[in-house]
Protein backbone atom coordinates (compact mmCIF):
# COMPACT_ATOMS: atom_id res chain seq x y z
CA UNK A 1 0.00 0.00 0.00
CA UNK A 2 2.87 2.39 0.84
CA UNK A 3 4.45 1.58 -2.52
CA UNK A 4 1.23 2.54 -4.37
CA UNK A 5 0.88 5.82 -2.45
CA UNK A 6 4.50 6.65 -3.21
CA UNK A 7 4.00 5.82 -6.89
CA UNK A 8 0.91 8.05 -7.01
CA UNK A 9 2.86 10.92 -5.46
CA UNK A 10 5.70 10.49 -7.95
CA UNK A 11 3.21 10.46 -10.82
CA UNK A 12 1.58 13.61 -9.45
CA UNK A 13 5.00 15.31 -9.14
CA UNK A 14 5.82 14.32 -12.73
CA UNK A 15 2.45 15.61 -13.93
CA UNK A 16 2.91 18.95 -12.14
CA UNK A 17 6.47 19.20 -13.45
CA UNK A 18 5.23 18.72 -17.03
CA UNK A 19 2.54 21.33 -16.44
CA UNK A 20 5.16 23.78 -15.12
CA UNK A 21 7.34 23.21 -18.20
CA UNK A 22 4.34 23.75 -20.50
CA UNK A 23 3.46 26.98 -18.69
CA UNK A 24 7.09 28.16 -18.91
CA UNK A 25 7.04 27.49 -22.65
CA UNK A 26 3.72 29.30 -23.05
CA UNK A 27 5.05 32.24 -21.01
CA UNK A 28 8.18 32.40 -23.14
CA UNK A 29 6.15 32.38 -26.36
CA UNK A 30 3.78 35.06 -25.07
CA UNK A 31 6.70 37.28 -24.00
CA UNK A 32 8.29 36.85 -27.42
CA UNK A 33 5.05 37.92 -29.14
CA UNK A 34 4.65 40.84 -26.73
CA UNK A 35 8.18 42.07 -27.41
CA UNK A 36 7.65 41.72 -31.17
CA UNK A 37 4.46 43.78 -30.92
CA UNK A 38 6.22 46.44 -28.84
CA UNK A 39 9.01 46.62 -31.44
CA UNK A 40 6.50 47.00 -34.28
CA UNK A 41 4.72 49.80 -32.40
CA UNK A 42 8.05 51.54 -31.70
CA UNK A 43 9.12 51.27 -35.34
CA UNK A 44 5.78 52.66 -36.51
CA UNK A 45 5.97 55.51 -33.99
CA UNK A 46 9.56 56.40 -34.94
CA UNK A 47 8.75 56.37 -38.66
CA UNK A 48 5.58 58.40 -38.17
CA UNK A 49 7.20 61.03 -35.97
CA UNK A 50 10.43 61.19 -37.95
CA UNK A 51 8.46 61.49 -41.17
CA UNK A 52 6.39 64.31 -39.73
CA UNK A 53 9.52 66.18 -38.65
CA UNK A 54 11.06 65.78 -42.11
CA UNK A 55 7.86 66.95 -43.77
CA UNK A 56 7.78 70.08 -41.61
CA UNK A 57 11.56 70.70 -41.78
CA UNK A 58 12.81 69.16 -45.04
CA UNK A 59 16.22 70.76 -44.43
CA UNK A 60 16.83 68.09 -41.78
CA UNK A 61 16.94 65.37 -44.45
CA UNK A 62 20.41 66.44 -45.59
CA UNK A 63 21.86 66.51 -42.06
CA UNK A 64 24.31 63.87 -40.88
CA UNK A 65 23.32 61.92 -37.79
CA UNK A 66 25.62 64.07 -35.64
CA UNK A 67 24.21 67.30 -37.11
CA UNK A 68 20.69 66.03 -36.50
CA UNK A 69 21.53 65.20 -32.87
CA UNK A 70 23.01 68.67 -32.35
CA UNK A 71 19.90 70.23 -33.91
CA UNK A 72 17.62 68.30 -31.56
CA UNK A 73 19.79 68.90 -28.51
CA UNK A 74 20.03 72.63 -29.14
CA UNK A 75 16.32 73.13 -29.85
CA UNK A 76 14.24 70.57 -28.02
CA UNK A 77 16.40 69.99 -24.96
CA UNK A 78 16.58 73.64 -23.92
CA UNK A 79 14.35 75.10 -21.20
CA UNK A 80 11.91 76.49 -23.79
CA UNK A 81 11.60 73.12 -25.51
CA UNK A 82 11.10 71.36 -22.18
CA UNK A 83 8.43 73.85 -21.10
CA UNK A 84 6.59 73.32 -24.40
CA UNK A 85 6.79 69.56 -23.89
CA UNK A 86 5.38 69.92 -20.37
CA UNK A 87 2.52 72.08 -21.72
CA UNK A 88 1.72 69.60 -24.51
CA UNK A 89 1.76 66.64 -22.10
CA UNK A 90 -0.66 68.41 -19.79
CA UNK A 91 -3.27 69.07 -22.50
CA UNK A 92 -5.87 66.90 -24.18
CA UNK A 93 -5.06 67.90 -27.76
CA UNK A 94 -7.69 66.63 -30.19
CA UNK A 95 -6.70 68.49 -33.36
CA UNK A 96 -3.90 70.51 -34.89
CA UNK A 97 -4.49 72.83 -37.82
CA UNK A 98 -4.11 76.32 -39.27
CA UNK A 99 -6.07 79.39 -38.20
CA UNK A 100 -7.56 80.61 -41.53
CA UNK A 101 -7.48 84.25 -40.43
CA UNK A 102 -3.92 84.49 -39.14
CA UNK A 103 -2.37 81.46 -40.90
CA UNK A 104 -0.86 80.52 -37.51
CA UNK A 105 -0.79 76.89 -36.46
CA UNK A 106 -3.24 76.13 -33.68
CA UNK A 107 -4.38 73.27 -31.50
CA UNK A 108 -7.88 72.44 -30.36
CA UNK A 109 -8.19 70.97 -26.87
CA UNK A 110 -10.74 68.46 -25.68
CA UNK A 111 -12.60 71.17 -23.77
CA UNK A 112 -13.02 73.22 -26.98
CA UNK A 113 -10.30 75.79 -26.27
CA UNK A 114 -8.18 76.81 -29.24
CA UNK A 115 -4.56 77.90 -28.80
CA UNK A 116 -2.15 79.31 -31.37
CA UNK A 117 1.18 77.57 -31.33
The structural domains of the chain, with segments of one domain joined by +, span: 1-65
- Between CA 11 and CA 116 the distance in angstroms is 72
pTM of the entire predicted model = 0.67
| Spatial separation of the C-alpha atoms in residues 109 and 92, rounded to whole Å | 5
pLDDT at residue 1 above 70? no
38-96 pLDDT, tens digit each: 999 999 999 999 999 999 999 999 999 999 999 999 988 889 988 989 999 999 999 99
CA distance 55 to 63: 14
- For residue 93, list its beta bridge partners: 109
For residue 63, the model assigns a pLDDT of 95
Q: Are 109 and 115 in contact (CB under 8 A)?
A: yes
Non-local (6+) Cβ contacts of 94 within 8 A are 108, 109, 110
CA distance 117 to 88: 11
Amino acid sequence: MVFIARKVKLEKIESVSKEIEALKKEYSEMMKLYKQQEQKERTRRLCSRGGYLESRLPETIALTDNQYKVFLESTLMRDKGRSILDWVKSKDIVNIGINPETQNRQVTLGNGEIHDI
